[in-house]
Structure 1
Amino acid sequence: MPEQFIAEESRSIGHAGRRELIAWAFYDFANSGYTTVVQTTLFNTYFVGVVAGGVGGVSPGLATLLWSLSVGFANFVVMFSAPVIGAIADIKACKKRFLLWSSIGCIVSTALLAQVGPGDYKLGMVLVTVSVIMFAYGENLIAAFLPELVPEEQMGRLSGYGWGLGYVGGLLTLLLCLGYLHWAMQQGMGEAEAVPVTLLITAVTFALTAAPTFIWLRERARPLPEVSGERILAASFGRLRHTFREARRFRDLIRFLMTLAVYQSGVSTVIVLAAVYAQQVMGFDTQSLIVLIMVINVTAAVGALICGHLQDRIGSVPTLAITLAIWIAALLAAYFAEERSQMWIVGNMIGIAMGASQAVGRALVSKFSPAERAGEFLGLWGLVNRLSVIVGPLSYGLINYWSGGNHRLSLLSTLAFFALGLLLLSKVDEARGRAAANNFLACGDS
């Protein structure tokens, strides 16, 4: 994280210095190994090809659907529970405590995935579901700290640095796994013996690199003294009802959340199933697949850093429009690709678009959110993200199943999400949305 940026932050807010900003961003570094190894690269293809498919005795189309159902059910749970957890975290000022427990849950369930072998697809589905739920809670809670750390005009940069550092973390974890797989193959091990160990590597890396967050990140919120005991849950639902009733005051937030739900369905599909597409359609083996994902992580980090600065200069909405256009071009190129070499170009385009769109989306929701209710509003952001992970991969999985494993046809549904998202984005007024959040605080609403 550049020194000039850190110095600016310390002067402008006084209470979030270099160490704490790095500690916040380092959580993105820590949890990205989980998404890279479990959801994007290794375990998803291992589940489809080995655990459920092939030796597991399940057809390829059904194996892909089972994976999509596991991820979809987990996100269905998170979709309804995350806003409530966010509201409770605001009321009791316990975002950091909840973040710790969700991280432990994700780390433990990831480590237990090492016990999943050929034919154990039911156990694999249960553990994947738990790990996805715990990961999603942590993602929402760490995002809720963002409005406390920097002023809104610098949220884009900090969010971009976090996402960029996250892709570096995912790349590091993937390199460790690649190194182990290379050694294991030299020892004559097969996939069923080697891949499970990468889950242990991922869990340990997550635990070690998340430590700075829990050591240095501060909980600045103060609990509401009049709410305690059994009243907490009732109060959290009350705040959520209040937020939905007053949605008209945050119409640009609501419009953007609708936009996010659509285009993020496409992003989620790519994250969860791109490796399956590269393996099943383009013939990538495991090691080539890992290298491709490494390349995507590097370009995603670059995309997040560049667009983090760009959105603070030209605005989040124009920046996001550019990234959605890149997404559309990338998926069109993937649809028409016939040679493996073409997928390397597609991978770089996806990386830039992925890093940029995720960094911009988190920052824009933070700009539209009153700081005193960040946990609740970022919980809504999490709700939309989880909905997208249900709709996107499940639509891909169903089309793939009904078409007898036609991945190119399934890809068209993913392309449609980005095209519709770009259309909906044109209705979002960034300046009006920021003004609504500022006016909410000025009026002293709760």
Structure 2
Amino acid sequence: MVSVGGRSRPRLPTMIQYSGVMQTNPRPSAGSRSKILSWALWDWGSASFNAVIITFVFAPYLTKSVAATEEAGSTALGWSTAAAGLIIALVAPAAGTRADSGGRHKLWLGVHTGIVILTMFGLFFVRDSPEYLWVGLLLIAMGNVFFVFAEVSYNGIMVRITHPDNVGKVSGFGWGMGYAGGLVLLVILLVLVIQPEVGLFGAGDEGGLRFRVVAALSAVWFALFALPVLFTAPSAKASKPSGGHPIKAFIADYGALVRRLVRMWREEHQTLRFFIASAVFRDGLAAIFAFAGVLAAGSYGFSASEIIILGVAANVAAGAGAMIAGYFDDRLGPKPVIIVGLIVILIGGMPILFSDNPVVFWACALVLSFCVGPVQASSRSFLARITPTERAGENFGLYATTGRAVSFLGPAMFAVFISLLGFQRAGTLGILLVLFVGLILIIPVKPESPAKSMQAQTKR
């Protein structure tokens, strides 16, 4: 088991060596093992939304069984997801700023997580008939929006339970727990609900009950594992009064955010470059998982059960990679982990272009998955290391926004290269190109210390 705990340390200024640059950083108290585990259990539980609802089970049910045609369902899902992404891009940064100013990351994590869980429960009422399609799409879109809002506060809490010596390990542990939770839940649902002729609670095919039960059980799973962090996460002092009319306060926060972006353009060049670079390569990483099942079915002839097994294996590989890489993150810094991970992904993805052998695809998929986890975890660690605790929500709100701002890149390049070269596996080249651009953008980025970042942010 990965050891991620540490002794409590006083909040004193400390000098840390990071990528060859000495930094002065007020060190937050190191989270105890129990606090870090409680925090990571949220990641474990949240996989029920990402792995089950979005990727492997419920969204495919919507497009194939609920929609009148699969094409119509896929198009509608794309539009609803795009609308959710637009809302996230517009609101997430200001929502993070509001959480920072009120010192209420734990409160907002609970509120937003609760809304996501309610949308998952709501999916139980989506029967396999076209008139239910937009109900399902609306609930999934709402879940997407509030899930990202919850992640902003969740990542903000991570900054408060770690210190510079273990933030990479903790971030990797959280990502690994997410992947592990996803695979455990997928296996449970596969055995108890999806595969049996009559599953748990009498779940069968009539009325789409099998998939509706999956949604309800996934909601229960998320609720159970989200509770610990809400009881154990440290509270933070408000950086400024949070009173006043909510709408006026939100507008004021957004105005402050715009001014901060202008200052970032002028003074925080490296942080801004990180946001841009990470947005590009994170979109490429998301595309890997988004289209792995499509390629497995279309180009390699995998059955539905084989695709779920592939998903389980991919989660195991990604989780193991994230946990292992956490040690290298703390020793070498997150940037080398990101660069090496992207290079291995680029090399490991190339054989898919030239081979239709399922064994080759399995090998490539596992290599890519093993590296996706470390790159994702170290990207979050990179931002945590350069973020003052007072700006955690704001920065992670920007992190969410920039990630969504270019979310069209991976899917668009996947489609473009299939059109240009005329075969489905060619879409892999489009995704690899996006990752290559992200690699080129991250190489020149140099970390800024939280002290320097805070000084630039407060400069008038």
Q: With the length of structure 1 as denominator, give the TM-score of the two structures.
A: 0.89
SS of the residue 1:6 aligns to: coil
SS of the residue 1:219 aligns to: coil
Partner Cα distance (1:13, 1:257) in 2: 24
1:415 aligns with 432
1:113 aligns with 2:118: no
SS of the residue 1:153 aligns to: coil
The equivalences for 1:200-219 within 5 A come to 200-219=216-235
1:83–1:38 Cα change, 3 Å? same
SS of the residue 1:359 aligns to: helix
| Cα displacement (A) at 1:415 | 1.6
Measured against aligned partners, the alpha-carbon deviations of 1:292-317 in whole angstroms (never above 9, x if no partner) come to 11111111111101111112112211
Q: 349, 366, 376: which is aligned to 1:331?
A: 349
2:405 aligns with 387
1:425 aligns with 442
1:348 aligns with 366
1:66 aligns with 76
Q: 271, 275, 291: which is aligned to 1:257?
A: 275
1:270 aligns with 2:282: no
Partner Cα distance (1:281, 1:50) in 2: 23
Flag the structure with more relative contact order, 1 or 2, with Cα contacts below 8 A and sequence separation at least 6: 1
The equivalences for 1:264-413 within 5 A come to 264-393=282-411, 396=414, 407-413=424-430
Q: Provide structure 1 residue ranges, at least 5 long, that are not aligned to the other structure.
A: none
1:136 aligns with 148
SS of the residue 1:225 aligns to: coil
2:21 aligns with none
Q: Structure 2 counterpart of 1:176, which letter? A: I
Measured against aligned partners, the alpha-carbon deviations of 1:400-422 in whole angstroms (never above 9, x if no partner) come to 7x789953343332121101111
Measured against aligned partners, the alpha-carbon deviations of 1:102-160 in whole angstroms (never above 9, x if no partner) come to 11121121222233324343333222211111111111210111222212232111101
1:241 aligns with 2:258: yes
Partner Cα distance (1:405, 1:189) in 2: 39
The equivalences for 1:69-80 within 5 A come to 69-80=79-90
1:44 aligns with 59
1:394–1:114 Cα change, 3 Å? farther
1:184 aligns with 2:183: no
Q: Structure 2 counterpart of 1:275, which letter? A: G
Answer whether contact 2:417 2:426 (CA < 8 A) is retained.
yes
1:112–1:391 Cα change, 3 Å? farther
Answer whether contact 1:335 1:411 (CA < 8 A) is retained.
yes
Give the % identical residues.
24
Answer whether contact 1:39 1:271 (CA < 8 A) is retained.
no
Aligned length: 435
Partner Cα distance (1:277, 1:44) in 2: 17
1:337–1:39 Cα change, 3 Å? farther
The equivalences for 1:223-234 within 5 A come to 223-225=239-241, 228-230=244-246, 231-234=248-251
Partner Cα distance (1:271, 1:9) in 2: 38
Q: 170, 195, 212: which is aligned to 2:211?
A: 195
1:169–1:286 Cα change, 3 Å? same
Answer whether contact 1:45 1:275 (CA < 8 A) is retained.
no
Q: 135, 151, 157: which is aligned to 2:169?
A: 157
Partner Cα distance (2:251, 2:194) in 1: 53
Answer whether contact 2:52 2:58 (CA < 8 A) is retained.
yes
| Cα displacement (A) at 1:333 | 2.7
Answer whether contact 2:6 2:31 (CA < 8 A) is retained.
no
1:35 aligns with 50
Q: Provide structure 2 residue ranges, at least 5 long, that are not aligned to the other structure.
A: 11-26
Q: Structure 2 counterpart of 1:438, which letter? A: A
Partner Cα distance (1:330, 1:66) in 2: 33
Measured against aligned partners, the alpha-carbon deviations of 1:208-254 in whole angstroms (never above 9, x if no partner) come to 11111112112223251385335522431232123112213321111
Higher helix share: 1
Measured against aligned partners, the alpha-carbon deviations of 1:261-293 in whole angstroms (never above 9, x if no partner) come to 111111122233322332233222222111111
Answer whether contact 1:171 1:297 (CA < 8 A) is retained.
yes
1:411–1:319 Cα change, 3 Å? same
Answer whether contact 1:40 1:273 (CA < 8 A) is retained.
no
1:66–1:415 Cα change, 3 Å? farther
1:390–1:127 Cα change, 3 Å? farther
Measured against aligned partners, the alpha-carbon deviations of 1:36-60 in whole angstroms (never above 9, x if no partner) come to 11222122333343333xxx2243x
SS of the residue 2:282 aligns to: helix
Answer whether contact 1:65 1:394 (CA < 8 A) is retained.
no
